Structure formats: structure tokens, C-alpha cells
Amino acid sequence: MIDFKRKIADMLEQKIEGLTKEEILEMIEIPPNSQMGDFAFPCFKLAKIFRKAPQMIAQEIAESIRENDLFEKVENAAAYVNCFIDKAIFAKSVVEEVLTKGEKFGSSNIGEGKKVIVEFSSPNIAKPFHIGHIRSTVIGNAIYKIYDFLGYDTVTINHLGDYGTQFGKLIVAFKNWGDEKEVEENPIPTLLKLYIKLHEEVEKNPALEDESRMWFKKLEDGDEEAKRLWQWFREVSLKEFNRVYGMLNVKFDSYAGESFYSDKMPRVLTMMEEKNLLKESKGADIVDLEAYNMPPALIRKSDGSTLYITRDITAAIYRKENYDFYKNIYVVASQQNLHFAQWFKVIELMGYEWAKDCIHVPFGLVSLEDGTMSTRKGRVVFLEDVLKKAVEKTREIIEEKNAKLENIEEVAKQVGIGAVVFQELSNNRIKDYTFSWDRTLNFDGETGPYVQYTHARACSVLRKAQVKIDENVDYALLGNEDAMDLVRIIEQFPEIVEEAARKYEPSIVTRYIVNVAQAFNRFYHNSPIIVEDHKLQKVRLALVYASKETIKNGLGLLGIAAPEKM
Ligand code: ARG
């Protein structure tokens, strides 16, 4: 694809002394509407250098670059130079890029194979995979796919919450009230029930608390019975999680969770001691972070047991040694902002300059319409139920509207689950939101099903036309504004992907594909595709193809399928 921005920057560089090409590139804008050109260059900043009014400068620059085949016209409007790219050149460059790159359109190699770890999902064993975890899962999965698309060497890690004092509680609860068969048959709800029961019983009998602590200690010391039970809880839970991952089509390279680091912590504790970072406080070991306006990081409890934060520090050091990452990304709720800030600081204080490469990507809270969620009280929405309901509803809609569709079951899954994922990724990740069944199951407006439907419609046009799109396309025929708007939007895809990666913000891609779909539908309504004039038909089909491919690639980055019929 011709890099028009760079071409314009090349020309401007010749005309403007005092600005580097990079500075010029930064300044070139895409105007809010096409009446103002395809690219615009503001001249305000040049006033100082040239000691002239910016309007004058704009006029002079416009005159000096006007005579070039690349442009249809160049205008100056107030302090701006507005460049209108020749329509045929523009459309040809963009559409041919999509034609040659196909499913790789939008990708690049800016990552140069550098190692990027994306840690996401990380649910807790024996606890439900709830709607809060879906955020980490789908945002993390999209960030991984985006980095992968940009040529980074990605590793995905599920830092399972499979360790900690709660396992002592679970063991005690199971030994007192548990039933093996029930756990096998219905693992998570049963384990959750036991966990809740323990919390209730502790109120009456505080000794249970000590007993739980003792059992966790036993687990840490390698006691056979404790280990056997813990392993079993982990296994049955993982089986459940994998069902959900299967529905979402999410895979991990590693399931090294918290327990993976249990034997790696002593070494890290020693290192912290050697660096004189640990301070004693009421028998426990802490790292004082007062100088950084943070509460102390509790590293080791007075009974010698380690904590969540100890395992995070150990895991980061392990990852650096094992993967030598360029970036180590954590997709974890904003509730844990302080936790991450604290241990990033500890790593820095340990002298690791790579602390700056550890990145917490937070996202907002999910609450239920009647208040917040609480695992302890058992008030959660299970992700699996959400997905199943969405698939169910989609199947009903398809059966009503398109009962002859061949693989209804498969499409219902792709569209129903796609709808949930799409809506998750529609807003800025940091925004808190209230989970609503209505919104999740509403398929009108700017939703996943709308975008998928647009894609299927494009596929159907291409199927019906049965024209092979080759190099012989006359792009000058494309001409009309709807078509050119669509071309302009498609052209932005590679930059959109880069921006989403830079900001760790998949919603940039989501909103972008809604734009593509809307622009496509405007074009499709106003320009008949299957027309007598074969040349006109061909160029329009080429644009249909490019739109379809862009939508499909965009959906793919979000982890959403693009069925060809629906
Ligand atoms: N298991 C935790 C939870 O569900 C999330 C883990 C986040 N990752 C981490 N490295 N601390 O709240």
C-alpha cells in the first residue's frame, strides 16, 4: 500500500526547513470529513519559524506541492493545507493491498519477533468463572492477538489462582461437610457452597479459622493428604474452565499459576534479604513503601507463609529469566491497581531495570444491577450461563428468520458468543459497567451480530457475482463519495491495529469495524453492485471484497468468528 502520509511528508520536507520528517509525519492529520481532503497539514507551528501568518504559509505550501500526479487537488483553507489524493490511485493502492495480503491485511512486522507475555484470565480454582473474569479473558485474548498480528513473539499465560490460604479453608470444609461424588459431578458450585459454608461456620466456631491455617501450612510443607485434595480441586476446576475457554476459543501457552512458584519463593526471599529490603513488622516481613506513598508490601506472614504478592514477584523474576521478555503484560481488574503498583516498585527496588517493562493493563468493575458481586455470598453471574443464553437466543432468531440455513447450531454459537465478546470490547476497558442481560442479548444497533451480518452480506454478494477479481480493475470508475469514504476507512486499518496495541485498547478495533460496517452499508445501499457494466461491477466487487476482508480480520483480532452465511 502506498504510504500516502509518508509521501506527503517527503514532499513537505523539501519545502519546509526547520522541521524533521518525523515531526512533519506527526503533524499530518486525517480531517474529520472528506470535504477537507484525505490528509491535512496544519501550519500554526510554522508561524514562528517563517515569521509569517499561518494562512500565508498554508497558501505557499499548497502552491508548491500542487503539481503532482498523486493529487487530485491541493487546497489551502485557513491555516491548513488540505490534500485530496487522486481517487483512482488511492482506491487502487488500498484495495490491491487487501487483495494481496488477504487475511494478513493490517498486520505488520513492527514487533520484529520481540517477546511479549500477555497474562490474562487467571481465575481462582474452586471459585466460579464469573462475568468479572470474562473481561480479563476477552480483553487479554484480544491484546494477545493484536500483538501477534504486529509481529511480536507472544506467550499467553494463565496465572491460575491455585494457591493460598483459601485452600486450607476448602480442605477443612470438604473434610467436614464434603461429598466426593457431588464434587465430581458438579465441581465449582459444590466447592463454592463448601467455601461459603466454612465462612458461615467460622462465625460460630472461630477454631475453624486456625484449622484452615494449619491445613494450608501442611500443604506448603508437602503433606500427602493436603496435596492430594488440592490437586483434585485444581483438576476438577480446570476441567470446568476449559469448557468455557473452548466456547470462547481461547488457548494458553502456559497454565503456570500461583502454585507453580511455591518452590521458587525461598530464593527470591533470600535475594530480598540480601538487598536489605525486608523489614520486620510484628513478626512479619514487609517492604516499606512509605517513601513512595504506598502502604507496605507484606511479603511473608509471621507464621512463615507467603502471599499473593510474593508469588507475583517470584513469577515476574521467573518470566524474565525464562522468556527474557520485552514486555510483560498483566490484564487484571483495576481493583488490583495498588497491588501491582506495590510489587512493581519492589521489583524496581530489587534493582531490576526491567521493572519498567512490566505493564498492568487494568479494566473497570462489573457489577450486577442490584449491587456488586460477591463470591463469598454466592452472588455471581456465571460466564457459562451468559454464553449459553446468548447462543440460545441467537438460535431462536435464526430459526425465525432463516430457518433454511445449513449449520444453524454452529452459526448460533459464533453469533451468540460473538455478541457477548463484542459488547465486552465495545467500551474503553477502564470504564466500570453494570452487567445487564438485556444489553447483552440485544442484537440491534452497533453490535457484534450487526457487524457479522454485514460481513455475511458481503460474502453473499461475492458468491452470487462469481467474478474473479484480478489486476484488471479500473479504479477510476469507483468515483462516488460513499465508495471513497469506505476506501479511506479501510486504509486506516493498519494504523488502527498499531494504536490499539500501543494503548492496550481492543475497543479501538471494535469501534473501527463498526465504522467499516456502517460505511459498507451506505455504499451498498447507494451503489448497486451487480450491474450491466462489467467494469463497474468489477471495481465495486473489489471494494466489497476489501470491506469483507477488513471486517473479518478485525473480528479475528477480537477473537470473534465471521460466518459467511447467517
Ligand atoms: N486470580 C486473581 C483473581 O481472580 C487474578 C490474578 C491476576 N494476576 C496476577 N499476576 N496477579 O482475582
Same structural domain for residues 220 and 348?
yes
| 3-state DSSP of 196-237 | HHHHHHHHHCCHHHHHHHHHHHHHHCCCHHHHHHHHHHHHHH
Question: How far apart, in whole angstroms, are the C-alpha atoms of residue 343 and residue 351?
Answer: 13
Instruction: Tell me, yes or no, whether 405 lies in a domain.
Output: no
Q: Which one of 5, 127, 538, 548 is the catalytic residue?
A: 127
CA distance linking residue 31 with residue 39, whole number of Å? 6
Choosing from 41, 69, 85, the residue where a domain stops is: 85
Tell how far the Cα of 424 is from the centroid of ligand 1, in angstroms. 19
Catalytic, 159? Answer no
* Residue 211 shares a structural domain with residue 307: yes
Residue 496 covered by a domain: yes
**Within this chain, do residues 153 and 214 fall inside the same structural domain, yes or no?**
yes
List the domain range (segments joined by +) for residue 170.
115-367
To the nearest 10°, the Cα dihedral for 256, 244, 360, 147? 90
Could you tell me if 215 and 306 lie in one domain?
yes
Whether 168 and 43 map to the same domain: the answer is no
Q: ipTM of this complex > 0.90?
A: yes
CB 43 within 8 A of CB 80: yes
77 and 126 in a single domain? The answer is no
Q: Is residue 399 part of a domain?
A: no
Reading the block at residue 184, the C-alpha cell is 465430581
The CATH number for 456's domain is 1.10.730.10
By residue count, the chain amounts to 566
- Please list the pLDDT of the chain residue by residue as tens digits (566 residues): 899 999 999 999 999 888 999 999 999 999 998 889 999 999 998 998 889 999 999 999 999 999 999 999 999 999 999 999 999 999 999 999 999 999 999 999 999 999 999 999 999 998 877 777 889 999 999 999 999 999 999 999 999 999 988 899 999 999 999 999 999 999 988 998 999 999 999 999 999 999 999 999 899 889 999 999 999 999 999 998 999 999 999 999 999 999 999 999 999 999 999 999 999 999 999 999 999 999 999 999 998 888 999 999 999 999 999 999 999 999 999 999 999 999 999 999 999 999 999 999 999 987 766 555 555 555 567 788 888 999 999 999 999 988 899 999 999 999 999 999 999 999 999 998 887 777 777 777 889 999 999 999 999 999 999 888 877 899 999 978 899 999 999 999 999 999 999 999 999 999 999 999 999 999 999 999 989 999 999 999 999 999 999 999 999 999 999 999 99
Are 105 and 550 a contacting pair, CB within 8 Å?
yes
Whether ligand 1 lies within 6 angstroms of the CB of 527 is answered as no
- For residues 246 and 348, membership in a common domain is answered with yes
**Are 78 and 134 found together in one domain?**
no
In the reported structure, the alpha carbon of residue 122 is separated from the centroid of ligand 1 by a whole-number distance in angstroms of 5
CA distance 108 to 112: 9
pTM equals 0.92
Number of domains observed in the structure of the chain: 3
349 and 239 in one domain? yes
Residues 234 and 361 in one domain: yes
Whether residue 392 is contained in a domain is answered as no
**Mutation choice for ligand 1 from 133, 139, 159, CB with most ligand atoms inside 8 A:** 159
**Residue 297 domain-assigned (yes or no):** yes
310 Cα to the center of ligand 1, angstroms:
13
Domain contains 431: no
Q: Are residue 235 and residue 343 in the same domain, yes or no?
A: yes
Residue 65: CATH number of its domain: 3.30.1360.70
Between helix 493-503 and helix 534-557 the angle, nearest 10°, is 10
100 domain-assigned: no
CATH of the domain at 187: 3.40.50.620
Looking only at the bridges linking them, the beta strands covering 278-281 and 284-287 are: antiparallel
Q: Distance (Å, rounded) from C-alpha 66 to C-alpha 384?
A: 59
Whether residue 199 lies in the annotated active site: no
Do 27 and 122 belong to one domain? no
Of 85, 107, 132, the last residue of a domain is 85
What does each C-alpha distance from 397 to 130, 383, 386 come to in angstroms? 26, 21, 17
Give which of 70, 85, 5, 492 is closest to 13, Cα–Cα. Answer: 5
Matching residue, cell 488540505: 82
